[in-house]
Amino acid sequence: MTDTTKYVPYDERTGNESIVYFTRDLSPEGIMKAYEKVNANIVGKVAIKLHTGEKNGPNIVPSSWVKKVMENEETLKDATIVETNTFYAGDRYTTPQHLETLKVNGWDFCKVDIMDAEGTVDLPVSGGKWFDHMTHGKTMVDYDSMFVLTHFKGHAMGGFGGSNKNIGIGCADGRIGKAMIHKKGNNDWGVVEDELMEKITESTKATIDFFGKNICYVNVMRNMSVSCDCEGVAAQPVVTPNVGILASNDICAIDSACVDLVYAMCEEDHKDLVERISSRHGHRQLDYMHELGMGNRKYILIDLDNDEVRICPKKAVEGVKPFKLIK
């Protein structure tokens, strides 16, 4: 296995290329533009998996944006936002706490399903080395399709939080599944580095195998603190420039592309997030997804703002401006 603290340049990767769409338009319209490129198989009863955040968290995808997207996208007008309770004691540890936090953060405009509120369901993990099943929120299996809408950012333990983290941890239930991922012996947070990346990814595989072709991914590269949204108002200040929105039907490709866009920035702009990703062995998420057959490390990046030409990550981040918080 390669050194998972090290970034693997694009030309050193092997395998096929998937399509990843990109727009610089950080807005509800940008999300819609990206989503419409990948939503062909979003049918039936739709779950929207996103990180709704701790109380008053400053960096989450704004609830007003999601509301506008749901009001304007035909496939999402009757969709349900889905979450699970947390393993750590915070604003979303119990279902009543979670429901209160949803109201505080503006997620009271539509149906929200705390999937583990009334129990769990076990789904198989095919080809895993740590798990043969993962325990998810009980109601996840009630949905026909899943739209994974992710705020891409850093993460205290995962290095980065992309689509893989959003559903790998976010669909596992708060008591059993998340403990399977994080706990080692008597230490609730004893699983770290490569083992943690692999366990998150195996949990994700259970979800995407369940939904099959009826799943798509949109990553929003905005307000990218090195901290996850689970840290709420305690998150580290944002210093990485905003970039744009990406979409794909390939989870490995979209998370790989987001990491590539970060690495394509100049040293001053990306140093904090790069350090967070490499020091936590975050690159292992990407390699392990590829090893498990969950997608490709290589991709064709399509510029939705310029006649859908193919661009490279360096071109995509050309001209990004130093971060300035806009409320």
pLDDT of the residue at 277: 98
What is the percentage of the chain residues whose pLDDT exceeds 90?
95
Q: Is residue 276 part of a domain?
A: yes
pLDDT of the residue at 231: 83
Q: Please work out, in degrees rounded to the nearest 5, the angle formed at the alpha carbon of residue 129 by the alpha carbons of 127 and 133.
A: 65
Confidence of residue 327 (pLDDT cuts 50, 70, 90): low
For residues 261-282, give the mean pLDDT: 97
pLDDT of the residue at 1: 57
pLDDT of the residue at 290: 98
pLDDT of the residue at 53: 95
Q: How many CA atoms lie within 13 A of 91 on its CB side?
A: 19
Number of domains in the chain: 1
What is the percentage of the chain residues whose pLDDT exceeds 70?
99
Write out pLDDT tens, residues 182-192. Answer: 999 999 999 99
Write out pLDDT tens, residues 122-131. Answer: 999 999 999 9
Q: Is residue 52 part of a domain?
A: yes
pLDDT of the residue at 144: 98
pLDDT of the residue at 234: 84
pLDDT of the residue at 326: 59
Write out pLDDT tens, residues 216-242. Answer: 999 999 999 999 988 888 899 999 999
From the CA atom positions of the chain, what is the Rg in Å? 18
What is the extent of the structural domain holding 138? 10-316
| Element at 300 (helix H, strand E) | strand 298-303
Q: Is residue 212 part of a domain?
A: yes
**How many whole angstroms separate alpha carbon 118 and alpha carbon 316?**
44
Please answer whether residues 170 and 158 qualify as being in contact, where contact means their C-beta atoms are separated by less than 8 angstroms: no
Contact residues for 266 (Cβ-Cβ < 8 A; gap 6+): none
Would the pLDDT of 199 be above 60?
A: yes
Q: Is residue 222 part of a domain?
A: yes
Write out pLDDT tens, residues 1-34. Answer: 579 999 999 999 999 999 999 999 999 999 999 9
Q: Is residue 119 part of a domain?
A: yes
For residues 162-178, give the mean pLDDT: 98
φ/ψ region of 225 (left if φ > 0, alpha if ψ in -120 to 50, else beta) reads beta
Q: Is residue 321 part of a domain?
A: no
Helix, strand, coil percentages for the chain (3-state, nearest 5): 35, 20, 45
pTM score: 0.97
pLDDT of the residue at 233: 87
Return mean pLDDT, the chain.
96
For residues 306-314, give the mean pLDDT: 98
Write out pLDDT tens, residues 50-99. Answer: 999 999 999 999 999 999 999 999 999 999 999 999 999 999 999 999 99
Q: Is residue 110 part of a domain?
A: yes
Q: Is residue 236 part of a domain?
A: yes
CATH number at residue 234: 3.40.50
| Element at 121 (helix H, strand E) | strand 120-124
